[in-house]
């Protein structure tokens, strides 16, 4: 997963901006939105969250990924590859 981020951090951040619609003020994303932004499967998002690889929170039974922490995670993991 880290290699994936190191190869395409700018593209992933652009996808994230597109998904969140910067002006929308969204703070949390659904796993489907994160999957689209990272170009991975929804199942992988759930697996990475369960393993603690991706930051996430549970709201009742719903899994959500904080936008700010996801941006930080992408930037943090892309710096090592440069």
Mean pLDDT of the residues in the chain: 83
CB-based contacts of 61, cutoff 8 Å, min separation 6: none
pLDDT-derived band at 80 (thresholds 50, 70, 90) equals: low
- For residue 15, give the CATH number of its domain: 1.10.10
Residue length of the chain: 82
Looking up tokens 């996801």 gives: 70
Q: What is the DSSP letter of 22?
A: G
Answer whether residue 22 shows pLDDT above 90.
no
**What pTM was computed for the model?**
0.73
Number of folded domains that form the chain: 1
**Could you list the residue range(s) of the whole structural domain that residue 63 is in?**
2-79
Express as a percent the part of the chain with pLDDT over 70.
78
How far is the C-alpha of 43 from the C-alpha of 25, rounded, in Å?
26
Q: Are 66 and 28 in contact (CB under 8 A)?
A: yes
Task: State the CB neighbour count (10 A cutoff) for residue 64.
Answer: 17
């Amino acid at each position: 997963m880290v290699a994936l981020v190191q190869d395409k951090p700018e593209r992933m951040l652009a996808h994230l901006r597109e998904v969140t619609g910067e002006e929308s003020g969204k703070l949390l994303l659904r796993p489907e939105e994160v999957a689209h932004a990272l170009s991975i499967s929804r199942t992988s998002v759930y697996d990475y969250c369960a393993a603690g690889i991706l930051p996430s929170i549970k709201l009742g039974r719903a899994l959500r990924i904080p936008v700010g922490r996801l941006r930080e995670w992408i930037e943090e993991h892309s710096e090592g590859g440069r």
